[in-house]
Amino acid sequence: MNSRRKFLQQVTLASAGLPLLGTGIFSFTGKAHSSFRTDKVLRVALMGLGGYARHVAEAMNHCRSAKITGLISGTPEKLKSWSAAYNVPEKNCYNYQNFDSIKNNPDIDAVYVITPNALHHDNTIRVALAGKHVICEKPMAISVKEGREMIDACKKAGVHLLVGYRMHFEPTTLEVVRMRNEGELGAIRFFQGLCGFRIGNPTQWRLDRALAGGGSLMDIGIYAINGCRYMVGEEPVWVTAQETKTDPVKFKPGVDETLQFQFGFKSGAAASCLSSYNMNNLDRFFLNGEKGFAEMRPSTGYGPIKGRTHKGEIQAPVVVHQTVQMDEMAAIILDGKQPLIPVDGEEGLRDLKIIEAIYKAASTGKKIEL
């Protein structure tokens, strides 16, 4: 009980007035912020003003340690409307041709890159060369080679490279990780991760291999890959995979519709995961150990995450993921806080190595050693 209470006291809520989602959650009386809570504010420019950027922007309205101070878009109309909506001065609005000049703008500390996957590499390197910290959406890049170049560029420039793993700060997720770390589940034997949805508009960039770098695995599947790693608490040592495609018109060559993939771990634990652009109602993680289990369903969606274990329902705060993420990332950049689950470029690179192995396993039918 003491370890659980300590965990809940350490969970960082984005602000004392952070709006909670849903109803019927327990009364959270722990400390609102860890000792790493910064009194400074991270000034952030959003790059790529699409649908997910809107989620981030609305969530950042409730941040205490991060603020939108810049905008980067190739669409003048978006710059104008977003500037008005988020009180960003015109001098802090850029397009993709001139955003290198943020180097001379003291109003911007970091850039959150929320562009299509294939653009992350070049966008990140340009931001690093401008001397600004980078927060990059996942997957960090479309290849291991690109990911390594991004890490090297940021190290050379002396700036942080963080990846948008919002689940690494989500309270229910962290409670399961705490239980595993403290032995409450016993030795881990099995993980299952199911991630998918039926994708709509066939002309969107997520179904364009040149922009997405693949299909469902590069979008929703990365949650199963990354989740498996932080839930099991080990890195996989081999992978096998199988692809299923029912609509070759919508899912062209190089754009995976559904992938099943399996991992093996040095400890003897095993994992079975599924990534799909053609199935709904999949959002589930299940972790099985010798002493007990943990299930999260939904496990990665934007709304409330729900969890239960062999001990009962997980009673954790329900928060706006992106609000907590941005305040925590501000603490990492400004105060040097070390998150419980890494969100740096090396963490992103580990996922890219596994993604490449999954694609290789699916195409060859062979077990790929990692």
Residue with tokens 């890959």: 225
Q: 223, 230, 277, 359: which is the annotated catalytic residue?
A: 223
Q: Is 277 a catalytic residue?
A: no
Pseudo-torsion of CA 158, 90, 112, 137, nearest 10°?
Answer: -140
For the question of residue 138 being annotated catalytic, the response is yes
In the chain the first and final C-alpha atoms are separated, in Å, by: 38
Q: Which amino acid is at 333?
A: I
Q: What are phi and psi of 83, to 5 degrees?
A: -60, -45
**Strand 188-196 relative to strand 270-276: parallel, antiparallel, unpaired?**
parallel
Distance CA 321, CA 62 (A): 11
Cα–Cα distance, 317 to 370 (Å, whole number): 36
Which of 67, 94, 138, 165 is catalytic? The answer is 138
Amino acid code (one letter) for 13? L
Residues known to be catalytic: 138, 223
